[in-house]
Structure 1
């Protein structure tokens, strides 16, 4: 199959061919003002009357002179008029309008132009958009590719006016060309004005009748500037006008450049994006052919499913662009679903991050999560509500956008609202537990954290409260962004948020988009600041039910401190398996990288905001690709260092890993168990439980007696033998032993000795206080444990804190200290119970031999020392006292657990880095072969030129990556290399460190410098000779010998005589050295 330009441009929906030419003739006529309305009122101002224009008044009446339209002028006259009317409102060009009737030339005496309704303005914007997006940009793509090839990527542009093929049928147009240092008047033909301007290296500010064009080099420079600094077209144009004004260049009106420069910049960026997407499509065509020729195990139809997303998005119909985003333009991102499987991640994901999705083996059973992503929302990237009656305007999406289509977001929203009804405030408040009267704590289905901990996380996190207002929808149409990034900080998808709070359906649609582009075998680890709440919703309401078995939820490191300690034990990425050293804070780094867009995006249009963010994402992708090998190298070395430190700690402590693992499991099991419950009837409930156990014991005794009778008589029941009877007797006796142990334990807690006391103690106040105090003390103990472990992490982090981590330290301290008031309240309530129990004993209302518990000293409460009263259950459990486990009381065991967890996470991280390094090399090799195949089959020299550029860039990337990851071993031996041969890689690596400048016309050659290269060489020789002579002279002086046939003094004389002229041209530094030697 041969590749040609018509194949690609036709696939992209681009029309090929020269624009039609139209003949121009001029003329004027007079029209009577009586033919038009004598007076009009502007839209929205009924109290003001606009009078018609009068150019000539005669006895026959008043007349106005109008220009008759020519054939060329009538071409697309409506679109041109719409373009002119929108020159200020849409940031476009401002041109001379086409005059077609007397009413069109009536100029008001009060207002400069007739005001139009919002609906009419929207229609004109739509017409202007059609001329740009559906007509001019597709037509300019072909000549733009040719210009890039002929001018060596705009380095050598031929500024001469190209010949027009209309043979003089068109009329001449004056266009002002804006360069960095000058303004130039250019005369072009009206039949092909934009094409002639482009051939001269200029981009028009208007699609049909431009009067201003901008240098392509300037537009490229501004594009590069605006992705590295806050985009501000006004500041740039004001500076440019001031700069040109100082050189006596000036346009007729002030701000004439600004009003049209933004239009040119916007659509030139669109042209570049279309070009990049086209070339990517060509490369993917080459990839398909290479995979088929290489005998890839991938089936042909699966290859098409994976790689079909390269095609440029089809333009939406004009009827839909005014209100909603086009859904068709994103179909490429949603190429797969759960109805069929694909052999590897979609080409969209492979292009987003080769490290995560570029490998030949997408699933590895040795990893709990094949890929790791993070999700977060940001409410600082808002957009203000437009003026009354304003709409989104015509669609202008980036051709390779990362935004999830609005259609999918609305579908997920409808699903969530249908399955999960909105909670009422009263009902929700009724379910909130308090420390005084707590509902029974338990585990929800599918969760490893008790309800009490989850409710605590829900209460402490603003993000978990969907009804919390973070951005006013009264003032902002778009309230923020939610992003999904991989662990290498590559943006996978973005969602434009329009709600006042953070809704779960935004995160759910991002997760669904990811799984729709992955094979059914791949698993995903998701880091989210409220990951526990998201998994809880999925388990309760069945969200993402088809993907839940392949998801591993965890918390982002920075937000983990705000969660309850039991939640951290299960969801912290440093404690749960599978996440290595991933921190989940890639979204925070992304928000920081695009914060420069915040001011300008507040007042931007809907689609302009999305396009600008997409452009910034592409810039960050390019930077990240350059640093990809460096990222792996840095992570590898850091991981090695941390692993060695942790292993040294373990070796010093001397504990067995099995012991530490067992202690860790006990800690997790103990600290994640449901909390004890308090109740007003707790004593009666405990007594009833003991009586029920007595009843069960009695029934077992009767059953055991029956079995004994069978053994004595030798008569057994149906289908029973003596072995069966003995086995049943043994099982019953075992159950009786368990019942006796439970009865004994419960009676000790109540302080009773025999069965008769139980019924008498029903409703006893002392027993109620005793059991409630025990439950409250257990809850207090758990809270103090959690706080102690969090403080330990805080202190350890504080010791390692640098000046730029102060914010993190303060955040952690704030989150930990939030629990202090609750703990203090629990301690006070427990002490009050102790005083009440003492009073009951004194009044004789307690069982005999009852002992009052010891109140807690609140001054030493937070120390949590091993010998504190908090561990002693005197008066609460007569014969028991809680044994302090090793994971809590033994400092060395606790240090060993930390070292063990760090070692495991480092081992996971190293294994993942090896896999990512292998994936990078495999992706690089395939990309190299795809580019070569595309070049081989391409028949168009313009596209081939772009492919050669892509090949050169990829070669440079491979050279950098190969050197940077040389220390990292692969998952398995890589025998096929990186794609390019070793010689080309070494040459490319050398070229990266060499300068590349134009030699002709260099300023250095024009300098009149006496210190030339030849003189510099002579001076270097003299300097070396002097050094050798001085060294030998010192050796001669030390040994008392002569230096050959010369004395040292004669040597200096000969040197001075022979090189006197050369010494005169030496530098001042060398002259001072020569003077010293003399």
Structure 2
């Protein structure tokens, strides 16, 4: 929780004032306390970074050594002064310590002078000395900027990565810990979800509308740098620079696009629904906010892996692509990702249509978050609902929503202040808290799984149907409900209704003729053989008309069937409304 320093300091001043102690100047205690708290958090961050480096270096030494020699390795010294470097505050960048065995060296990384930050000696005072005058904001000690994250390693002499990076293992040991490798029996080795939150905004600076968040960054930050996001945006825009001409699909049959499992008409319906919802958000996120939201990637155990600071007014695809690229660079090349996203069908369509991250797309299995799946068309749910898609188990993809709920208390404070460092601190707190509750989490989920398993087994037993039979029926249902619907024009439904109405008229005429022939045969008027032959022809014609009408009626959709039922007995509407 972000401390309410202004409220706390004001209460302290009022309390001291009641005791006849008064501060000289205005807002003196708050400014000094804010500066002290800032350096205190920087000190804690630096200590954690140094400890991580020491532990990671020792782990790398153990992993690099032969198995027979590991028992003889000396234990690390118990004295912190023997292993900790003397430099106080190292650079705050994850890329310096979490590249796993690919980029680790036998010695601790050496920090250059620009990467270090030391407290000024003038700020150190004895308890009996008087407080120095508070420096202005512009004279505060600068915080070191983080170096650019390494996205690839070009040294071919280094061994290939065989396990997730140290950073991912720190985020969630249940997902990325251990020494497991790619398992061919599982569609996805890891499961993660992506979602955006547009309530975590930051107001524009009244003095400088282009002011960005401070360069001060948490040492183990989960936020991608602005340069990484900008590079992905440039990459996406360069591919979309010359969009293909949009031909009207009114005169084309529905089809399944390359790499997709559902017809294009279903994807268009889902895409239009998302755009209609997203445009409503645009008016609230353009004029007054410098940062419009946060998009995060979270593992199936609700641990935040990566996040991006959103600066556009809508949920653009390059944010999700940047998160995917960053995650895939942290895992071995043969491991796969099961990704749950609110609009996974649209993201997958864009990746195959434009070739975004084409080298990574074969290793990604897409699904839609459970609660958002019901807003998609039914064929889309059949393919991408996590309960109907193999590989996702009971993962619901709503971990991001739970994360947004846990940080909602930060919204008022972060609207008017730098927020990335504070969000990093709170995310680290949530991660540490989740680590301590991992055992209870596993026990609770295990009990839930056993209960669900027992209920399903009971239902299958009562159904008295074999599992192969049910799988076969489900496969037939998927095939039937995801096949493209033929269409020739936008008036095809209207033309089909007109055709049925015309067939009804022809059937009525033939039935009238058959009734007349029956009357003639009953009276014995005319040639019996000729009338009998005419009756046979009329009955054959009626049978053909009924067969054609039945086929056309089955091809009608729900709306066309309703229109037909309304128009069957309305000659005026049939003549003036439905004829083009």
TM bracket (short chain): 0.7 to 0.9
User: Does structure 2 retain, via aligned residues, the 8 Å contact 1:327–1:407?
Assistant: no
Match of 1:375 among 194, 200, 214: 194
Distance (Å, rounded) in 2 between the aligned partners of 1:527 and 1:494: 15
User: Does structure 2 retain, via aligned residues, the 8 Å contact 1:773–1:830?
Assistant: no
Shift of 1:293: 3.2
User: Does structure 2 retain, via aligned residues, the 8 Å contact 1:370–1:522?
Assistant: yes
Match of 1:304 among 101, 115, 127: 101
Match of 1:831 in 2: 565
User: Does structure 2 retain, via aligned residues, the 8 Å contact 1:463–1:530?
Assistant: no
Distance (Å, rounded) in 2 between the aligned partners of 1:337 and 1:569: 42
Distance (Å, rounded) in 2 between the aligned partners of 1:634 and 1:312: 45
Taking structure 1 as reference, are residues 365 and 263 closer, same or farther at Cα in structure 2, changes over 3 Å only? Answer: same
User: Does structure 2 retain, via aligned residues, the 8 Å contact 1:487–1:582?
Assistant: yes
Match of 1:354 in 2: 173
Match of 2:256 in 1: 443
Taking structure 1 as reference, are residues 270 and 303 closer, same or farther at Cα in structure 2, changes over 3 Å only? Answer: closer
Match of 2:456 among 646, 663, 679: 646
SS in 2 for 1:538: helix
User: Does structure 2 retain, via aligned residues, the 8 Å contact 1:345–1:362?
Assistant: no
SS in 1 for 2:149: helix
5 Å-filtered alignment, 1:752-831, equals: 774-775=554-555, 777=556, 779-780=557-558, 823=559, 826-831=560-565
Alignment pair present for 1:265 and 2:37: yes
Taking structure 1 as reference, are residues 246 and 504 closer, same or farther at Cα in structure 2, changes over 3 Å only? Answer: same
Q: Flag the structure with more relative contact order, 1 or 2, with Cα contacts below 8 A and sequence separation at least 6.
A: 2
Distance (Å, rounded) in 1 between the aligned partners of 2:484 and 2:111: 53
Q: Where does the alignment leave 5 or more consecutive residues of structure 2 unmatched?
A: 71-98, 118-142, 500-540, 576-580
Match of 2:471 in 1: 661
User: Does structure 1 retain, via aligned residues, the 8 Å contact 2:298–2:305?
Assistant: yes
SS in 1 for 2:419: helix
User: Does structure 2 retain, via aligned residues, the 8 Å contact 1:306–1:347?
Assistant: no
5 Å-filtered alignment, 1:268-287, equals: 268-287=40-59
Match of 2:313 among 500, 522, 528: 500
Shift of 1:597: 1.0
User: Does structure 2 retain, via aligned residues, the 8 Å contact 1:337–1:516?
Assistant: no
Match of 1:541 among 340, 345, 354: 354
Match of 1:295 among 67, 82, 88: 67
Match of 1:256 in 2: 28
Match of 2:429 among 605, 613, 619: 619
Q: Where does the alignment leave 5 or more consecutive residues of structure 1 unmatched?
A: 1-226, 319-323, 687-746, 754-766, 781-822, 842-1078
Shift of 1:303: 5.6
Distance (Å, rounded) in 2 between the aligned partners of 1:296 and 1:446: 48
Distance (Å, rounded) in 2 between the aligned partners of 1:565 and 1:455: 13
Shift of 1:474: 2.1
Shift of 1:410: 0.9
Taking structure 1 as reference, are residues 591 and 468 closer, same or farther at Cα in structure 2, changes over 3 Å only? Answer: closer
Shift of 1:241: 1.6
TM-score, normalised with respect to structure 1: 0.41
Match of 1:10 in 2: none
Equivalent pairs counted in the alignment come to 471
SS in 2 for 1:238: helix
Taking structure 1 as reference, are residues 542 and 468 closer, same or farther at Cα in structure 2, changes over 3 Å only? Answer: farther
Match of 2:82 in 1: none
Taking structure 1 as reference, are residues 377 and 673 closer, same or farther at Cα in structure 2, changes over 3 Å only? Answer: same
Match of 2:183 among 355, 364, 377: 364
User: Does structure 2 retain, via aligned residues, the 8 Å contact 1:335–1:517?
Assistant: no
Shift of 1:520: 0.8
Shift of 1:394: 5.6
Match of 1:577 among 387, 390, 406: 390
User: Does structure 2 retain, via aligned residues, the 8 Å contact 1:464–1:533?
Assistant: no
Shift of 1:470: 5.9
**Larger Rg belongs to:** 1
User: Does structure 1 retain, via aligned residues, the 8 Å contact 2:217–2:420?
Assistant: yes
Taking structure 1 as reference, are residues 671 and 752 closer, same or farther at Cα in structure 2, changes over 3 Å only? Answer: closer
Taking structure 1 as reference, are residues 771 and 659 closer, same or farther at Cα in structure 2, changes over 3 Å only? Answer: closer
For residues 640-699 of structure 1, give each alpha carbon's deviation from its aligned partner in whole angstroms, at most 9, with x where no partner exists: 01000110111111111111111111111111111242546889xx9xxxxxxxxxxxxx
Taking structure 1 as reference, are residues 263 and 772 closer, same or farther at Cα in structure 2, changes over 3 Å only? Answer: farther
Distance (Å, rounded) in 2 between the aligned partners of 1:356 and 1:303: 16
TM-score, normalised with respect to structure 2: 0.73
Shift of 1:341: 3.3
Taking structure 1 as reference, are residues 833 and 392 closer, same or farther at Cα in structure 2, changes over 3 Å only? Answer: same
Match of 2:224 among 404, 415, 418: 404
Q: Output the aligned Cα RMSD.
A: 3.7
Match of 2:485 in 1: 675
User: Does structure 1 retain, via aligned residues, the 8 Å contact 2:100–2:165?
Assistant: no
Shift of 1:370: 0.5
